[in-house]
Amino acid sequence: MICMAQITVNYSSNIKQATLEALENSNLKSLISPGMKVSLKPNLVLGKPASSGATTHPEIAEALISYLRDHGVRDIEIIESSWVGDDTKRAFRVCGYEALGKKAKVPLFDLKDDKCVKLSAGEYDFEVCKKALDTDFLINIPVLKAHCQTLMTCCLKNMKGVISDMEKRRFHAMGLHRPIAFLNKAISSSFSIIDGICGDLTFEEGGTPVARNMIIAAEDSVAADSYCAALMGFSVEDIEYLSLAAEIGAGRLFDESTPALELNSGDKPIFAKSNGEEIRRLSGFIAESQACSACYSALVFALNRCRRIPGKISVGQGFKGKSGALGCGNCTCAFDKYVKGCPPKAVEILEFLKAL
Ligand code: SF4
């Protein structure tokens, strides 16, 4: 039996298959039933393709739709509202969701056209789009990527797409963290499937994607986000809304007792060069030989947060049994100093670098 808190992590670059495998090995099956209306909420913050690192790969939604249909769910829709100033319908088109909607015969709803209702949690009243409430089961499909204000964005912050534009502006005026935590108390997603394929290194708008090749499934979005924070080099304390969300009962933080199931961990995809000036700069500090993308991306995220990089760091299966100075991951265990893990999390690499 799969426990509610379980995080299922699949290492693969085959997006559809990775999504289906992650779902099969999660507890989603026990949560859905044929008569349900299920709403999918991707991250289409703006009209840029998923390869930019900004938006959710449509292949994940496609796999999810086929999984739901295989389990008898017929009433499925995709809902989203892009950020203020951007056109959701354009994002649906550019990001491949218009084509997906036609192919899979699933309706798309631009929440900017929706009516809003008031929901309260703690000290806040929120204007939430009706469509996000008129559903039996809300599946969040965020991208794991950086954010210029909250440092990271994943499950909890992606829920900002179900509020009105006026409310989005108010969230920024309120400093984002507290309202994000309370919004997830007021309306929480029923399940999340996280796009960890190539989220952006520095900015929610994309342009600096880093190949990570991971799909993560979880029921508890606070547990999922706190797990993902470590993948990006952050501790729970770095992301204010995480501990707050746990404190007010929106979910439980990931810790050593949280079951984490890894799939294909012995067969992780090999890193492929990412574009972007920042990544090119950081790659100057990396010696790479057959590195898995999960390991390489963790190192890139850690280096991006490191003020003083102590020297060249080696990463990859090509370093197995070889000696050297600084290594990242168990493949470099014969090095003078190395970070344990296969792959290590970015937060662990950062700690290692700081200690040097
Ligand atoms: S330690 Fe080696 S096998 Fe493990 S993720 Fe890193 S490069 Fe891949």
Q: What is the pLDDT of residues 283-322, one digit of tens each?
A: 999 999 999 999 999 999 999 999 999 999 999 999 999 9
Distance 79 CA to ligand 1 centre (A): 37
Mutate to test the pocket of ligand 1, among 262, 270, 317 (most ligand atoms within 8 A of CB): 317
User: Residue 163: CB partners within 8 Å, gap ≥ 6?
Assistant: 81, 116, 126, 127, 128, 129, 171, 183
List pocket residues of ligand 1, CB cut-off 6 Å: 268, 291-292, 294-295, 315-317, 329-331, 342-343
- Interval 54-100: pLDDT, tens: 999 999 999 999 999 999 999 999 999 999 989 999 999 999 999 99
- Closest-lying ligand 1 atom to the alpha carbon of residue 290: 7
Mutate to test the pocket of ligand 1, among 262, 330, 352 (most ligand atoms within 8 A of CB): 330
Residue 199 confidence (pLDDT) above 60? yes
Q: So what's the pLDDT on residue 277?
A: 82
Share of the chain above pLDDT 90, in %: 92
User: Residue 328: CB partners within 8 Å, gap ≥ 6?
Assistant: 295, 298, 299, 313, 314, 315, 338, 339, 344, 349
Q: So what's the pLDDT on residue 273?
A: 73
In this prediction, residue 3 has a pLDDT band, given cuts at 50, 70 and 90, of low
User: Cα-flanking dihedrals φ and ψ of residue 41, to 5°?
Assistant: -120, 95
Give the Å distances, CA to CA, from 312 to 25, 96, 209, 228, 324: 38, 40, 22, 26, 10
In this prediction, residue 2 has a pLDDT band, given cuts at 50, 70 and 90, of low
In this prediction, residue 275 has a pLDDT band, given cuts at 50, 70 and 90, of low
Residue 264 confidence (pLDDT) above 90? yes
In this prediction, residue 278 has a pLDDT band, given cuts at 50, 70 and 90, of confident
So what CATH class is 7-265? alpha beta
Distance 301 CA to ligand 1 centre (A): 16
Residue 236 is which amino acid? V
Distance 326 CA to ligand 1 centre (A): 15
Pair of tokens at residue 300: 């890139």
Residue 105 confidence (pLDDT) above 70? yes
Mutate to test the pocket of ligand 1, among 267, 313, 331, 335 (most ligand atoms within 8 A of CB): 331
- Closest-lying ligand 1 atom to the alpha carbon of residue 343: 5
User: Max CA-CA distance within the chain?
Assistant: 63
Give the Å distances, CA to CA, from 228 to 86, 145, 177, 192, 253: 27, 9, 17, 12, 11
Q: So what's the pLDDT on residue 1?
A: 57
Residue 118 confidence (pLDDT) above 80? yes
Residue 350 confidence (pLDDT) above 90? yes
Nearest CA to ligand 1 atom 4: 342
> Angle 97-104/58-70 helices, nearest 10 degrees?
20
- Interval 139-189: pLDDT, tens: 999 999 999 999 999 999 999 999 999 999 999 899 999 999 999 999 989
Q: Give the Cα separation of 284 and 256 in Å (integer).
A: 34
Domain segments of the chain as ranges: 7-265, 277-349
Distance 16 CA to ligand 1 centre (A): 23
Distance 291 CA to ligand 1 centre (A): 6
Distance 343 CA to ligand 1 centre (A): 5
Q: So what's the pLDDT on residue 14?
A: 97
Distance 268 CA to ligand 1 centre (A): 8
Q: E-strand spans in the chain?
A: 7-11, 37-42, 75-80, 108-110, 116-121, 124-129, 137-141, 145-147, 151-153, 191-196, 214-218, 260-263, 286-288, 313-315, 326-328, 337-339
How many other β-carbons are positioned within 10 Å of the β-carbon of residue 264? Answer: 18
User: Residue 204: CB partners within 8 Å, gap ≥ 6?
Assistant: 45, 54, 145, 146, 147, 148, 153
In this prediction, residue 4 has a pLDDT band, given cuts at 50, 70 and 90, of low
Residue 219 confidence (pLDDT) above 80? yes
